Amino acid sequence: MSADRSSTDARGAPGWLQLGPRTLPPPQGASDVVRDSVAASVPADRKHVGPVPATVEEWLAFVAAADAPAIAGAQALEAALPVTVERDEIAGVDVYHVVPDEISPAHDEHLFVHVHGGAYVLNGGPACVSEALLLAAGVGIRAVSIDYRMPPVHPYPTPVDDVVAVYQELLKRHRARSMVMGGSSAGGGLTMLAVQRLLGEGMRVPGALFVGTPGSDLSGIGDSIRLNQDVDRSIPEYGGLVEAMAKLFADGLELTDPRISPLYGDFDGFPPTLLASGVRDILLSNTVRTHTRLLEAGTEAELIVFEGMSHADFMIEFSSPEHQLLLAQFDRFCVRHLQGSTRKPPGGPDRVDSLRWA
């Protein structure tokens, strides 16, 4: 882990803090669901750590092993939620149409263009839809989940190309301002890379974005990468396997290249953006730095940070009140900012208990 190496070199360097050991109880300030889940998962199996595959074949075997439970999880969600999933192809890219049994009248003209996470390498194929299922069923909005091609076979720029190609095709059938694009982790990073590409080429951008705990800076900078090391239960350390996947995506480009890490790119003209993270999230710093960059650029950007939550827990803990709150905020944000909303944007957000799916 390059960040750790420099940390070792800099021990005692001016301004560096040397922090002693500490204990951290389950989060009493989170919901009971999250507190109990965190308590039960510690010290659970650490994900996204382990030996780095050395060849394309080893990478493909690693991906297949990691994706198997993700596919099972997506299938279980599809069975449990009132949605229909249909595989299709748009602009030559595999996609999944996700249609809730009940479309909210507010979102009848809206479309959620979903960009899945998975460190730019994982969650391809039928695993890609989980977040789209939760958001589509949760607020009653149609979704298209993009199964963009990924490393090791298809590194940068293919994942971004695929997202942009699908969006451009969707633009022929949907007004830009009626679409919300987004996703979590790598999905948040790719969403912003795609929007920066669209803006750079003078194209219309979606009416709103959802960016969860984004891969906005893949270079390892950020207070939370140190403070939440071994705290975040999804990504216990940034570096090693996670950094290797980022480098696989970057395909030789620097990790601070704005084509790879959108935080180093331009945010002028970004549409309204909803961001989410957690106090235990190793990418909390990534998230808040993205949020303040968006505010500086004049974007209407809203941030939610959940107590006790690790990377993407707001989607993983989908039976929690925290997830319900995020659904309510996503719903309100889309109603406020997308064209074709049939509900008047409320003075305040809808109540959480007004959601149909709970």
Helices 186-200, 158-170: axis angle to 10 degrees equals 70
Does the protein bind a second copy through residue 38 (CB under 8 A)? yes
Q: Which residue among 284, 312, 316, 338 contacts a second copy (CB under 8 A)?
A: 284
List the one residue from 5, 16, 88, 102 that touches a second copy (CB under 8 A). 16
Q: How long a stretch of residues is the chain? A: 358
Task: Determine, following the binding rule CB under 8 A, whether residue 39 of this chain makes contact with a second copy.
Answer: yes
Alpha-carbon distance 80 to 205, whole Å?
A: 33
C-beta separation of 114 from 138 below 8 A: no
Q: Does 14 bind a second copy (CB under 8 A)?
A: yes
Total residues binding a second copy (CB under 8 A): 69
Residue 208: CB minimum distance to a second copy, A: 12
Q: What is the nearest approach in angstroms of a second copy to the Cβ of residue 240?
A: 16
d(CA 6, CA 111): 44
d(CA 201, CA 195): 10
Q: Quick one: which of 1, 91, 171, 305 contacts a second copy (CB under 8 A)?
A: 305
Under the binding rule (CB under 8 A), the answer on residue 49 touching a second copy is no
* Complete edge-to-edge strand list for the sheet that includes strand 142-146: 83-90, 93-100, 142-146, 111-115, 179-184, 208-212, 273-278, 301-306
Q: Taking the complex as a whole, how short is the minimal distance between the CB of residue 26 and a second copy, in angstroms? A: 4
CB 264, CB 136: distance < 8 Å? no
Q: Which is nearer to a second copy, 203 or 221 (CB)?
A: 221
For the segment 88-147, give every residue that binds a second copy (CB under 8 A): none
* One residue of 131, 302, 313, 317 binding a second copy per CB under 8 A: 302
Q: Which lies closer to a second copy via its Cβ, residue 84 or residue 339?
A: 339
CA distance 146 to 133: 13
- Per CB under 8 A, 1 contacts a second copy: no
Q: How far is the CB of 156 from a second copy (least distance, A)?
A: 22
Is the Cβ–Cβ distance between 308 and 280 less than 8 Å?
Answer: yes
With CB under 8 A as the contact rule, which of the stretches 116-124, 140-148, 150-158, 294-302 interacts with a second copy? Answer: 294-302
Contact 143, 135 (CB under 8 A): yes
Q: How far is the CB of 209 from a second copy (least distance, A)?
A: 13
Q: By CB under 8 A, tell whether 288 contacts a second copy.
A: yes
55 lines the binding site for a second copy (CB under 8 A): no
Tell me: does residue 28 bind a second copy (CB under 8 A).
Answer: yes
Going by their DSSP bridges, the two strands 142-146 and 111-115 should be labelled as parallel
Q: Is 14 exposed, middle or buried (0-12, 13-18, 19+ CB in 10 A)?
A: exposed
**Left (φ > 0), alpha (ψ -120 to 50) or beta: where does 71 sit?**
alpha
CB of 80 to a second copy, least distance (A): 25
Q: Which residues contact 233 (CB under 8 A, 6 or more apart)?
A: 38, 41, 42, 44, 46, 47, 280, 310, 313
List the structure tokens of 210.
Answer: 């959802």
Per-residue contact string for residues 212-251; x = within reach of a second copy by CB under 8 A = -----x---xxxx-xxxxxx--------------------
Stretch that binds a second copy, among 68-76, 110-118, 243-251, 319-327 (CB under 8 A): 319-327
Is position 344 an interface residue for a second copy (rule: CB under 8 A)?
no
CB of 326 to a second copy, least distance (A): 10
Paired sense of beta strands 93-100 and 83-90, if any = antiparallel
**With binding defined as CB under 8 A, does residue 54 bind a second copy?**
no
Q: Which two tokens stand for residue 209?
A: 């974005």
Please tell me what DSSP assigns to residue 251: T
Establish if 258 lies at the interface with a second copy (CB under 8 A).
Answer: no
Q: Which residues bind a second copy (CB under 8 A)?
A: 6-7, 10-11, 13-29, 38-40, 42-43, 217, 221-224, 226-231, 272, 279-280, 284-285, 288-289, 291-292, 295-296, 298-300, 302-308, 321-322, 325, 328-329, 347-352
